[in-house]
Amino acid sequence: MDRCKVDRGRRIGGLVLGVTAFASVASASPEVEREVIGQSPSGEPIAVWTLADRSEGDPGERPAVVVIAGVQGHHQVGPQVAEAMGKLLVDNHAEALAGRTVYIIPRVNPEGLARFVSAESPRALTGRAPEARDADRDRRVDEDPPNDLNADGFITMMRVPAPVVAYGLEPTHLVDEDDPRIVREPEDDERATHALLIEGIDDDGDGRFNEDGWGGASGGGVDLDKQFPTLWPEHTDGAGRFPLDRPEALAVVRWLQSRTNVAAVIVLGPHDTIVSTPPSGKYGPDGRVPKGIEKDDEAAYEMAADAFKEITGITKTEPSPDRAGSLLQWSYADLGVYAFGTPVWVRPDLVKQDAPEAAEEPEADPEQDGPTTEEIEAADRADLAERGVTQRFIDYLYMDEAELAVVRSEIAAMSQADLEALMQEFTSFPADVQARLSAIQGGGEDPGPSEDLLASIGADQDEANAEPTPAGDSPDAKWLAWIDEHAEGGFVDWQPFDHPQLGPVEIGGFVPGVRVNPPADRVGALSEQQAAFAASVLGMLPTLELDDPTIERVSGDIWRVGLTLRNTGTLPTKSAIGVKSRRLPGIVCVLDPDQDHATDRIVSGSRAIRFAKIEGRGASVRAEWLVVANAGETLDVEVRSPMFGTTRFELNLEAE
């Protein structure tokens, strides 16, 4: 009997890697294939590499993971890691590839990737695909891009120390007292002192700066992560004229739609949907297309998150861009598969470090009269209650990570009416309390009680004796601290410049891409982490096993024919969003697929019995029929699956 069973312990023998870019990977296999699935407007190829054991049959008839990178040109680390993952999966995770297929598309946006590092133009912080656009709708294209005024090869920022009436500029930022490199928005009673603009001049004389061209205020070109049909952000700058306007995006969609075996997509890019799992129960205007994930897919995302955090140590990520129109959101909501997004690299303080051996704590100083942690919490709770904050929100501020995870899950499951009531309660609180709650809900740290409260309970507020912390605990301060130690040249110090239109300004800021791409010596370790994560996802994929069909003579010429299908993998044979989207059929068991026998000979059961999905961890379903047939006749049963292919059984109805 033919059986649809995967032997997951067998080593890979004849791996076929569609690779030309990585010669080192090609040497691991006797065959090397490269499939070009499209090209950019300038003719740069969009290629896909396939990792699969051809000796096990068609790679398209087994569960697959797709790794995609290079959608955003400034995210240079994505393609570097994706290209390295092929060899690492073969060398270090061959057992995970048994019975599985991996596709790698490392460079979706070859023109944007090349433009970002091109020496022919200054580097600007944009990942878009180059294309002449009329962003300001004046019937001219790219006439007012940024300008590298200080000729350092980068488009950074200008801080204008006073408003220029002729250009209608108003101060929106101020220079931080602790670290003058940081320009931030004012808080509380602070007053803005500077306008902040992208480096450049008003080329077209329309009173606006850098509004139409590459790297300017509008970005210039087309953002491929706003080009996909799911919740396409129509009329948004960079979204293009219509979904899939760019050939790169169209090529990726067409190719993915042609694959029926894809179970999961991993996108290496700016978005994170692994460490911070998207919420469930949030939908677009039609009430059907999810903005996050389906409730029944939460368990799969939690498993992926646990594995990812264990492998990478990443515990938090910085806020991600909106996923509307992104490849990641389309892969989930329209393609109907699990879609995991990761920036690959984050600021090192967001990565869990191995805990050092606990040092012996010094004895308490009896002369110290400062408040204890418990005293501060008690005073803070009392103050919050007095200011009208309800108890559940007060408790939220002092929950540990496990408690927070439970509450966040409960919030994600709330109805729209309950969410609106919760938001109304939240907005009734003082602004500083809202800021504290928002910081925690977003995965950050609680800024803590106000200084006035701390002072009122005897906390030492003498800043002269305290070790200075640049700009408080802001992300900019943390990035600068890391750059100072590990990435010399990652920040352009502010320098005066006599602007031809604005007068005296200063030019400086973060080098484009320094907060997205790691030092070169980190790429190898990051590639190993991502390969290990991909192998972990491969190990979670469904595995379909078919028991040998059972044949039982009920009486005379009536026979009972049955077949049990079992999923011994971890994940279901189809995600919840896959069932909902109905892009592909489920698993179909067909009796007499060639219709050699009349339909009325099937006494019980439909000729074709369909199963939307089979849950994982050994769950099973059974197809069963009662048929009228003579002893000695032959019946065929066929199991059809978009992911696992087709298996046919020949049943001989032998006389006893």
CATH topology of domain 544-652: Immunoglobulin-like (2.60.40)
Give me the long-range contacts of 160-163 (CB less than 8 A, separation at least 24): 160/194, 160/195, 160/196, 160/197, 160/499, 160/502, 160/505, 161/193, 161/194, 161/504, 161/505, 161/506, 162/193, 163/195
pLDDT of amino acid 455: 65
pLDDT of amino acid 391: 86
When pLDDT is cut at 50, 70 and 90, the band that residue 65 belongs to is very high
Q: Residues 181, 494: contact at Cβ < 8 Å? A: yes
Which is nearest to 110 in space by CA: 249, 229, 256? 249
Cα separation, 105 vs 130, whole angstroms: 20
CATH no. for 15-116+222-345+517-540: 3.40.630.10
pLDDT of amino acid 378: 83
- Give Dmax (Cα) for the chain: 102
Query: In Å, how far are 426, 562, 592, 608 from 559, measured between CA atoms?
Result: 66, 10, 14, 17
- On whether the pTM is more than 0.85, the answer is no
Q: What is the pLDDT of residues 515-533, one digit of tens each?
A: 999 999 999 999 999 999 9
Residue 441 clears pLDDT 70, i.e. is over it = yes
Q: How many helices (H) and strands (E) does the chain have?
A: 16, 23
When pLDDT is cut at 50, 70 and 90, the band that residue 452 belongs to is low
Query: Three-state DSSP class for 127?
Result: coil
When pLDDT is cut at 50, 70 and 90, the band that residue 469 belongs to is very low
Q: Residues 218, 4: contact at Cβ < 8 Å? A: no
Q: What is the pLDDT of residues 127-165, one digit of tens each?
A: 999 998 877 778 888 888 999 999 999 999 999 997 677
Residue 456 clears pLDDT 70, i.e. is over it = no
pLDDT higher at 369 or 272: 272
Cα separation, 75 vs 214, whole angstroms: 16
- Give the orientation angle of helix 523-540 with respect to helix 77-92, to 10 degrees: 60
In the chain, domain spans: 15-116+222-345+517-540, 373-459, 544-652
Cα separation, 525 vs 643, whole angstroms: 32
Strands 101-105 and 64-69, by their bridges, are parallel
pLDDT higher at 227 or 428: 227
Length of the chain, please?
656
Residue 166 clears pLDDT 60, i.e. is over it = yes
Q: Looking at the DSSP assignment, which residues form a beta bridge with residue 154?
A: 123
Residue 246 clears pLDDT 50, i.e. is over it = yes
Cα separation, 465 vs 478, whole angstroms: 22
Give me the long-range contacts of 282-289 (CB less than 8 A, separation at least 24): 284/231, 289/230, 289/231, 289/333
Cα separation, 474 vs 358, whole angstroms: 28
pLDDT of amino acid 48: 97
pLDDT of amino acid 405: 76
Q: Report the mean per-residue pLDDT for the chain.
A: 87
Q: What is the pLDDT of residues 73-110, one digit of tens each?
A: 999 999 999 999 999 999 999 999 999 999 999 999 99
pLDDT of amino acid 615: 97
pLDDT of amino acid 433: 82
pLDDT of amino acid 370: 61
Which is nearest to 183 in space by CA: 570, 549, 505, 516? 505
